[in-house]
Amino acid sequence: MTIKDTPEEWEIRATETPFRGNKTSVRTDDVVMPDGSVVRRDYQVHPGSVAVLALDEEDRVLLIRQYRHPVRQKLWEIPAGLLDVPGENPLHAAQRELYEEAHVKAENWRVLTDVYTTPGGCDEAVRIFLARDLSEAEGERFETEHEETDMEYARVPVDELVRLVLAGDVHNNCLVVGVLSLVAARSEGGLDALRPADAPWPARPFES
């Protein structure tokens, strides 16, 4: 048996969109099950996201902390953002987010991992990049708004982050998946063996 996720689409008898938001919407599909029954499934339609695990020369990860209203917590996270333009190159989006949220640029980019955040209720796909050879971005800092005006910053050693993840002290999915993937990649061929930054992404196809 080959262990690999594969595309598949079951028959949809009816579909509607009862809610449309600024960036996301909610869709309701009547889906035909293998036994022939028809079941209603509600899920959030999401444009997709990118996240950046930025690793400095001292083996520290760049973190930001901001308020997340749905969970009523301030979470430590890695820089991330939406794919605002359909078909947008995810690398370009990741570079933009690293600049806007942290005023940092990177010379070395790799794909760390790709995930579906909550596939039982949302179609969001996230590509997590590894960014190295960091330096401060040129020019003025990006003008933040809303939750981002209250952001805090830190650089935390990888070993300490792993301890925080396993202790249940940090919860952001991109941070958790990203740092554990980083550790795994180091033991499986090294970071330079990771996929190139422009590797295909079937979940969110893009132009080079």
Q: How many residues does the chain have?
A: 208
The pLDDT of residue 138 is: 85
Contact call for residues 71 and 165 (beta carbons, < 8 A): no
Contact call for residues 75 and 169 (beta carbons, < 8 A): no
What is the pTM (predicted TM-score) of this model?
Answer: 0.93
The pLDDT of residue 183 is: 98
The pLDDT of residue 146 is: 60
Query: Which CATH architecture is the domain 49-196 placed in?
Result: Alpha-Beta Complex (3.90)
Contact call for residues 36 and 13 (beta carbons, < 8 A): no
The CA–CA distances, whole Å, from 170 to 24, 128, 134 equal 26, 17, 24
The pLDDT of residue 85 is: 83
Single out the catalytic residue among 97, 143, 148, 188.
Answer: 148
Q: Where in the chain is the domain with CATH 3.90.79.10?
A: 49-196
Contact call for residues 137 and 41 (beta carbons, < 8 A): no
The pLDDT of residue 140 is: 73
The verdict on whether 107 is a catalytic residue reads no
Q: Give the pLDDT means over successive 10-residue stretches in the chain (208 positions).
A: 94 97 95 97 96 98 95 97 89 95 96 97 97 90 66 96 98 98 96 97 90
Q: What are phi and psi of 20, to 5 degrees?
A: -125, 120
Assign 108 to helix, strand or coil.
strand
